[in-house]
Structure 1
Amino acid sequence: MSDTLHWSALHLGQTMVPAATVAHGEYVRLVMNYHCQYAFMQHMFCLKEDDRENGWKMWLESNSNSYPSGTPEFSIRIGSMIRQRGLIANLTLRENLLLPFLYHGDQQRLERASDEIVEVARRFGIDSSLDEKAGERSTYTHAIISLTRCMLVKPAIIVAQEVHIGMPPEQLDRFRAFSMQALEQLGSGLLYLTGSVDEGSGLDYARTLTIEPDCQSLDSAEGE
């Protein structure tokens, strides 16, 4: 698969994030503070159409096609595991998991995800809760829902923050094991956003890009 996430140099306030890419099957770590992480993700998921017309800052190259960030074609190919990305409380877990497919209006993908949802949920231990209202959920459940959604979407690239922060040790170990298995099965590229190189994921990164918060500094280390 030839899918590759690209972004041009981005100025986030006084911070500059240099141009880079993440290829399908490649893991890249981007180290910067949380304020910059959320500003970066705005370019990924919330870009306005007039901004795209003035020059794409982020896009996905897929089978000779270019999909700018903020478009449905881009977002259905980019999975996400974002901190503090809440579930919609008055919907069931099943409905929350299927929301991306409803939003994009792809009936074939919706039917396929609906067929797969119980098996994937059973794998992660949430099958008995699928028809419960989301309501208030633990950090672990939010993270597992994000992981389950990625398994259903089968994205080319996943952008992930440290969704494990705050989990008790037993749940953390279980979540890390599930995540490793899912990444191996999906074969997706991964852009891992973290505040520290000591994040402890244990992943084998092709590149680590460290962004200083106050200027244009870049520290790139291969194979960290």
Structure 2
Amino acid sequence: MSDVLHWDELHLGHTLIPASHVAHGEFVRLVMNYPCQYAFMQHMFSPCDESCADNWKMWLQTDSGLQMSGSREFSMSVGSMIRHRGLIANLSLRENLLLPFLYHENHTRLEQAADELVDVANLIGLTAALDEKAGERTTFTHALISLGRCLLIKPAIIVAQEVHIGMPPEHLEQFKDISMSALQRLGSGLLYLTASPEEGSGLDYARTLTVKAEHKDIQSRKGE
């Protein structure tokens, strides 16, 4: 099967993250506390080789082969939406949206993303503010920028971390509508990191993995 995100079993202190996977188009929820979430993502986006602790690995299986975590190919195939880390204040919203392409210095993909930017900005409702400096923005705008980057990157898999937490009700409902539309458009798989199975995203998960901190007690249940 192509476009499947896999990861090995991982020990984080006394917490055991089970080996699992997310297929393209599949939504999987991983319930664990915030320190474990950040440690998990650090492992995910840091270079990983045989010298890694516990030889932990994550990789994306594609038609053309394996993309290992930490590689340039992996980071441009696996999008991320991380709480309160969507913006760099001294850049414009336009530059923030294009930031992944600027970092990777892929001029072809940068030009393509720049061409698609107006359409994406219209979808997420930021067209009028594209050339404004980011500065201090709301949780809602941080989340929209993270979502917009994913729309431009078109990743096989998205890793999301409760970016809606802290939004007022009117922004929350608006973000849910926009993100649902974006996920349908992308067709990407989703690994959703949350501290609670009652997180309120409204998404339909194929599987939920619940990781108990301080106990090597792991439950896996269907649905929700």
Could you state the TM-score of these two structures normalised by the residue count of structure 2?
0.95
SS of the residue 1:84 aligns to: coil
Q: Quote the Cα distance in structure 1 between the aligned partners of 2:112 and 2:64.
A: 26
Alignment-derived partner of residue 39 in structure 2: 39
- Kindly indicate whether the alpha-carbon contact (under 8 Å) linking 2:3 and 2:23 is maintained by their aligned counterparts in 1: yes
Alignment-derived partner of residue 152 in structure 1: 152
Structure 1 position 47, deviation (Å): 3.3
Matched letter for residue 80 of structure 1: S
Q: Quote the Cα distance in structure 1 between the aligned partners of 2:11 and 2:158.
A: 22
Q: Quote the Cα distance in structure 1 between the aligned partners of 2:5 and 2:123.
A: 29
- Kindly indicate whether the alpha-carbon contact (under 8 Å) linking 2:76 and 2:153 is maintained by their aligned counterparts in 1: yes
Q: More deviation in 57-66 or 11-20?
A: 57-66
Matched letter for residue 134 of structure 2: A
Q: Quote the Cα distance in structure 1 between the aligned partners of 2:165 and 2:47.
A: 28
Alignment-derived partner of residue 87 in structure 2: 87
Matched letter for residue 183 of structure 1: L
State yes or no: 1:98 paired with 2:98.
Answer: yes
Matched letter for residue 221 of structure 2: A
State yes or no: 1:166 paired with 2:166.
Answer: yes
- Report how many residues are paired: 224
After superposition, residues 50-69 of structure 1 pair within 5 angstroms as: 51=51, 55=55, 57-69=57-69
Query: Structure 2 stretches of 5 or more lacking a match?
Result: none
RMSD: 1.7
Deviations 1:51-71 (A, max 9, x none): 469845111111141111111
Structure 1 position 106, deviation (Å): 1.7
Structure 1 position 49, deviation (Å): 5.4
Alignment-derived partner of residue 186 in structure 1: 186
Q: More deviation in 101-110 or 135-144?
A: 101-110
Deviations 1:149-207 (A, max 9, x none): 11000000000011111111111000000011110110000000001111111211110
Q: Quote the Cα distance in structure 1 between the aligned partners of 2:52 and 2:180.
A: 35
Q: Quote the Cα distance in structure 2 between the aligned partners of 1:206 and 1:5.
A: 15
State yes or no: 1:198 paired with 2:190.
Answer: no
Matched letter for residue 94 of structure 1: R
Alignment-derived partner of residue 131 in structure 1: 131
Q: Quote the Cα distance in structure 2 between the aligned partners of 1:29 and 1:117.
A: 29
- Identical amino acids, percent of aligned pairs: 65
Matched letter for residue 215 of structure 1: H
SS of the residue 1:60 aligns to: strand
Matched letter for residue 181 of structure 1: S
Structure 1 position 50, deviation (Å): 6.5
Residues 1:218 and 1:54: Cα distance change in structure 2 (over 3 Å): closer
Could you state the TM-score of these two structures normalised by the residue count of structure 1?
0.95
Query: Structure 1 stretches of 5 or more lacking a match?
Result: none
